Structure 1
């Protein structure tokens, strides 16, 4: 490895390096690639793992364990069969678990929009009647979360997402403002860093004194069992932790089967306090008559129990781990010696967070597009897509086969080096 990094090159060295990398980039463009690293979609191989679901629950199999005919209306909280499996998996009482349709993001949108329109069960007034609503956004974070806050016109306030979770000291100061109504948290293998919230940070978040009585933490545990290794992460009973801290209604927790079975046809789960559940079902019962219980029964038959879920996730890990290893190896081989980038080394989840030279992320994405490689837009992991340092790029290795991923990441590395060379030549 060179002892001289790119920012230390003299003018002649930098000119020669830039010429070399420009030639590599032109060769890359000549390949007429069409590769996509934009979203964390499961690959076809992963979707094939759940093929048996397409034949379940099967003709004549339409009774849940309690005798409910799943073909009919009703059952706002979902059937016990799938709720029991997820309660065991998440380490919570089954009474806390509601099972819904395919997207937990839909329920997140619901609880925020209903708080906005009507107020939640701890609100003094609907959020729409507040002078302003402020929302805490750990960064880098999940773009779809930020889009929900943006759509409602919330003022988004960023705090750093550290390796053990959101910066609690920063959050503690912000929640002294009664207009701060909530925050986003992806607690396990977070998007895009792959960091997980420690038990200590979780307890501190649960114990915070907030000026707003209706302050909520959206605890989006989308990747709760998405390991890339033989080890499954500890799943914190955050609702129980908050209840023990004297704030039983603080947590709206979510998870789903979306990247476990069929991404667009799964089951979502809402885990929260009794008071929050009653508030939710009171409104949900007007919005609709119940979720797709046939699909819930199909999933219960497919998994059998919590260990059945883990068995499926071991298949996913075997499919995904080589792709993450490919990305990390190429980043280290191509970029490691030049000091132009840092990246996370996740042990689970769907993303790798890449930080390039400040001011160059948008240029890297632009160069990649010229070369036929689609990357998530620079700044996507920040509210309003504004990364103040223009450095972060989210990498999604899951969808392409390894052979395409190798080509794409080698190309991305070339773009990072070229953007850095241009930057230092100014």
Structure 2
């Protein structure tokens, strides 16, 4: 992040900000930065998927992918992503297109069936709670809210969640059954968990014998620089610490190939894998193995994934660089904003003075620039400071993105100077 917040506004800046906003509102813009969706140009990189498997309908082991069965998913696609997601092939499942579905199902199954190491189903217990690092991913929070799971915010640091807080809460409260983690290029701050954080998560004492880390490694391959971040192997760390069943690892190709027609993955201990397979067998006769085969043919191997993501990076990196450049030009030195400079992932976090985020988002919407609602980065949509705004640069073209970020900066100056003048 750059600059310090809450400087006094020099004379005349509020008047200029009001003029700038009038000009912005008069442009008739219609721009949307709400979700981190791949742009059409990114999706075009995977256009060859549509012509695969080109008459082939058997997997490497002879399985006819057109038929039922194969609940664990095709071996060849699991072999490719075992390296990417740091999960042994035999402990990795390949499923449908959405890792969010897998997270949803794991919660439902934990509520309705006994997890390995558990004494009872979660639904039979008086209270269930999850730790939620903030700022975080709104869809994680929505799952908890959907199932009545209490959410406990935990501050994020530059190395991941504040582990002193996490360790205390997990050790003291048997109702704390899990923690949400986006360990690499986290949503929305871009933080990568340090080796020390991973080791502490794996080894910490837990009052609940069925405590689980929901390790949503959504951006495992989504780098924006020449130096890709590496994170420690959580699954191996848990096994070494004597907590082999602690980690649920999730990932997908959703922002690698076709976002709406990808392959999702679940990895964990052998006991957890058998638990999920046993429950899934009652809801499905098998995943879309035709799609898994086309992905295996298209990506080929882990090196193929990396090469494909370099092509994705070529499209994304200029957008993130533009966001940083405009924010520095328009807001640098004003004392009204700080922002992240992520090395990967899909988001930039903009921090404005306390009490200003909702008003900035409202003013931007009135000027035709739609942003993710302020508060979405916190449980129950409640950012206590009302200071965090998530920017999603991926979908718009460069010209639209430039207009949107310049317009957002106008709104930040207007609301910030109005607050200082009040």
TM-score over 0.5 (shorter chain): yes
Matches within 5 A, 1:183-222: 183-222=179-218
Q: 1:265 aligns with which of 238, 250, 261?
A: 261
The equivalent residue for 1:9 is 9
Within 2, Cα distance between the matches of 1:102 and 1:235? 24
Matches within 5 A, 1:330-369: 330-369=326-365
Matches within 5 A, 1:44-55: 44-55=40-51
The equivalent residue for 2:78 is 83
CA apart distance, 1:8:
2.2
CA apart distance, 1:90:
3.0
Q: 2:301 aligns with which of 298, 305, 309?
A: 305
The residue matched to 2:213 in structure 1 has which SS?
A: strand
The equivalent residue for 1:65 is 60
Match status 1:168 vs 2:163: yes
Encode CA deviations 1:148-207: one digit per residue, 9 max, x unaligned: 011111111111111111111000110121000001000000000000101110010000
The residue matched to 1:141 in structure 2 has which SS?
A: coil
CA apart distance, 1:413:
0.1
Within 2, Cα distance between the matches of 1:235 and 1:57? 34
Query: In the superposition, relative to structure 1, how do residues 9 and 234 fare at CA in structure 2: closer, same or farther (>3 Å)?
Result: closer
Matches within 5 A, 1:13-412: 13=11, 16-59=12-55, 61-175=56-170, 176-412=172-408
Quote the RMSD (CA, aligned, Å): 1.3
The answer as to whether partners of 1:90 and 1:235 remain within 8 angstroms in 2 is: no
Which 5+ residue runs of structure 2 have no aligned equivalent? none
CA apart distance, 1:419:
0.6
TM-score, reference length from structure 1: 0.97
Encode CA deviations 1:230-264: one digit per residue, 9 max, x unaligned: 23221432111100010000000011000000000
Query: In the superposition, relative to structure 1, how do residues 242 and 5 fare at CA in structure 2: closer, same or farther (>3 Å)?
Result: closer
The answer as to whether partners of 2:337 and 2:350 remain within 8 angstroms in 1 is: yes
The answer as to whether partners of 1:221 and 1:254 remain within 8 angstroms in 2 is: yes
The answer as to whether partners of 1:6 and 1:421 remain within 8 angstroms in 2 is: no
Q: 2:420 aligns with which of 403, 406, 424?
A: 424
The residue matched to 2:282 in structure 1 has which SS?
A: helix
CA apart distance, 1:326:
0.5
TM-score, reference length from structure 2: 0.97
Within 2, Cα distance between the matches of 1:402 and 1:25? 22
The answer as to whether partners of 1:77 and 1:100 remain within 8 angstroms in 2 is: yes
Query: In the superposition, relative to structure 1, how do residues 4 and 180 fare at CA in structure 2: closer, same or farther (>3 Å)?
Result: closer
Within 1, Cα distance between the matches of 2:350 and 2:229? 23
Within 2, Cα distance between the matches of 1:187 and 1:388? 24
Query: In the superposition, relative to structure 1, how do residues 118 and 90 fare at CA in structure 2: closer, same or farther (>3 Å)?
Result: closer
Within 2, Cα distance between the matches of 1:392 and 1:4? 15
Within 1, Cα distance between the matches of 2:86 and 2:68? 29
Encode CA deviations 1:290-335: one digit per residue, 9 max, x unaligned: 1000000000000111100001100111100000000011111111
Aligned pair count reads 419
Runs of 4+ in structure 1 deviating by more than 4 angstroms, as ranges, are 3-6
The answer as to whether partners of 2:5 and 2:337 remain within 8 angstroms in 1 is: no
The answer as to whether partners of 1:50 and 1:261 remain within 8 angstroms in 2 is: yes
Which 5+ residue runs of structure 1 have no aligned equivalent? none
